[in-house]
Structure 1
């Protein structure tokens, strides 16, 4: 699963990454994006990438925790992860899979093993398969997860569905069947897990030093 992640890359750099990595000619952020965060938790605003066509896309803010189209409010547990194995069938995600596939940028994420948090990253912006629901202009999103693979399987049995550069448009613009081909574990080359500060367990803590073990600062 993924219940905490980090995004500190600036808006301009994210736009450049979406152009270079995802292959869009024009990328805008018409509403601006949430500030840099080092401890993003469910229900808080995150950045998502939505495709308009093969050349144009936009970065937009959305609530992390999808609100299904049939739900009237955000009550109940937030749907911040969606299992790849069942996302096409579950009523909460079925419509978003068909009409609202997006990519979620992150600089890395946290996972816990034996009560020790780890900071997992590649050193570059990571794109994760996501779903977005538009409820009368209010966007909410969830992150696709799969079984874990090496070198991350020892930390947790689930991981986000990372998208390789050539898979981003397939996920967002492909047919349902083309997108379904990606509902398997994604590439994990270049990922490293390093011990993080246990203070990340408190969502009120949000600062760069969380990425390092306690006591180094």
Structure 2
């Protein structure tokens, strides 16, 4: 996982690519974003219960599954040399 990423597609291109169908998904018109940083709230496309694509909002960072609350420091880099031994990735 890298620190920053770009969403260069227009909203109409995302809508067409993933065949989004709900009113909430169709009414969005987010502009492309060129410098999305860790800890920003973003929209993700995921698989829905019926197999169709679905939008979800979430935060761009890693939170270990065992965390009881949101950590103060954002973890957003997973190093390949320690991913298999770090408790955060088990």
TM-score tier by shorter-chain length is 0.5 to 0.7
Gaps of 5+ in 1: 20-26, 95-217
Tell me how many residue pairs correspond in the alignment. 85
- Note the 1:5-20 alignment, pairs <5 A: 5-19=5-19
Q: 1:61 to 1:8 in 2, by over 3 A?
A: farther
Q: 1:10 to 1:53 in 2, by over 3 A?
A: same
- Note the 1:99-118 alignment, pairs <5 A: none
Higher radius of gyration, 1 or 2: 1
Return the match for 2:46 from 50, 74, 93: 50
Partner deviation per Cα, 1:147-168 (whole Å, 9 max, x = no partner): xxxxxxxxxxxxxxxxxxxxxx
Gaps of 5+ in 2: none
Q: TM-score, normalised by structure 2?
A: 0.61
Preserved contact between residue 51 and residue 57 of structure 1 (Cα < 8 Å): yes
The reply to whether residue 69 of structure 1 matches residue 65 of structure 2 is: yes
Q: TM-score, normalised by structure 1?
A: 0.31
For the aligned residues, what is the CA RMSD?
3.2
- Note the 1:25-44 alignment, pairs <5 A: 27-28=20-21, 30=24, 32=28, 35-44=31-40
User: Whole-Å Cα distance in 2 between the matches of residues 91 and 33 of structure 1?
Assistant: 39
Q: 1:12 to 1:91 in 2, by over 3 A?
A: farther
More relative contact order, 1 or 2 (CA 8 Å, 6+ apart): 2
Preserved contact between residue 63 and residue 70 of structure 2 (Cα < 8 Å): yes
Structure 1 residue 38, shift from structure 2 partner: 1.6
More strand by share: 1
Preserved contact between residue 66 and residue 79 of structure 1 (Cα < 8 Å): yes
